[in-house]
Homo-oligomer: A and B are copies of this chain.
Amino acid sequence: MSVKPLKVTVTGTSESPTKLAVSVRDFSFIIDEPAMFGGEDAGPNPVEYALASLAGCMNVVIHLVAAEQGVDLRSLRLTVKGELDPSRLMALPTENRAGFEGIELIAEFDSDSSTAQLDEVLRLAGLRCPVSDNLGNATPVIVRLAAPAELEAALVVG
């Protein structure tokens, strides 16, 4: 059995050194930084969206796994926490990594199922959630200039 690969493309236009106007399918939203990081606070910042994407993904997969396991969920609330040292970002000397040292997702359920059953749902969901996988395991990230042909294509399209 094979499933069609999911191809995802997101574009962002810089509106200031901190503010990015993002377009994806029919949606658009703003990413910005608070004033303490030089922004206008016109939207959540990049690392907040990163943690939110994990919560959004786990919501989907927790419900999927719970249904498979016969675990009823009347409600679900997710809290995601992370802590990072901005030194590397700011080019200050540090041994610490640039991003979150670790990420914690805390789930609050209203359910008649046992703690053991809910623990198992979380464990399985963590293994199947794409965002959990991309954060938890190394993912090749290529950063490059657009090739001339891509720039021409962009002009033609838009």
A interface residues, Cβ below 8 angstroms from B: 1-3, 5-14, 17-20, 22, 24-25, 27, 29, 31, 33-34, 37, 43-61, 63-64, 67-68, 73, 75-93, 97-109, 115, 118-119, 122-123, 125-146, 150-151, 154
The reply to whether B76 and A98 contact each other, CB–CB distance below 8 Å, is no
22 contacts between A and B (CB under 8 A): A3-B85, A8-B82, A10-B48, A10-B52, A10-B79, A12-B52, A12-B78, A14-B63, A14-B73, A20-B55, A24-B51, A25-B48, A27-B48, A31-B52, A37-B60, A46-B54, A88-B128, A89-B128, A103-B140, A104-B141, A108-B151, A126-B143
Is B105 touching A126 in the complex (CB atoms < 8 A)?
A: no
Min Cβ gap A46→B in Å is 4
The A interface, classified by DSSP as helix, strand, loop or mixed, is mixed
Partner of A144, one of B57, B83, B102, B122: B122
